[in-house]
Structures are given as C-alpha cells and as structure tokens.
Amino acid sequence: MDIGTPILKLDLQSVETDYKKLLDEEQMRSYKLNQLRVNNQTKLNDLAMKIKVSAMQLNRKKWNCVMSSISTAWVRELRIKCDRLNSAIMWPSWNMSSWAAV
C-alpha cells in the first residue's frame, strides 16, 4: 500500500475482485448443473432404449412361442389326417410272382 492511496479505492478493488470470483464460482456451478442435467437425460434415454429393446425381445420370444405352438398343432393335425387317409386306403395285394410269368 502506497502512502496517499485512498483506502476506499483499495477496498473497492478488493470487493470487485471478490465479486468477480463469486460470479465465476456461480457460473462454474451453473455449468456443472447443466452438465449433470445432460448426463441424467442421456442415462434416462439409454434406459428407455434398453426398455424398448427388451420389450421387442420379449414380444419376439412370445411370437416364437406362439408360432411354435401353432406349428406343433398343425403338424399333429397333419399326421392325424395322414393316418386317417392311410387307414382308409385299401391297398391292393399285389402278387409279385404273377409278374414273372408275363
């Protein structure tokens, strides 16, 4: 401090420096808060996407299960119809020895 320097001027400079420092700290907190918001939104979006993917996988498994059941029932019904047809057909008894005489 120099002789003759007004004390109020030094005090004003000190207050201005402290004020700017506090403004900078507030700005940094604001930036950090915004960054946290962005990070949280990103995490929420990721979780929402994972939920959608899981739901799609579950629907696919359900669809595969349904199709498997339908396919199994269809094959079973087809076998029953074939068995009925086979039992209804009267197969002629071929005499193979009569072919040799021809």
Alpha-carbon distance 50 to 57, whole Å?
A: 10
Q: Which residue has the higher pLDDT, 3 or 55?
A: 55
Span 10-21, pLDDT tens digits: 678 888 999 999
pLDDT at 8 over 90: no
Q: Which residue has the higher pLDDT, 31 or 96?
A: 31
Alpha-carbon distance 62 to 54, whole Å?
A: 12
Measured in whole angstroms, the distance separating CA 19 from the mean position of its chain's CA atoms is: 49
Tokens of 16: 């201005």
Q: Which distant-in-sequence residues (6+ apart) come within 8 Å of 10 by Cβ?
A: 1
Q: Which is nearest to 64 in space by CA: 97, 56, 95?
A: 56
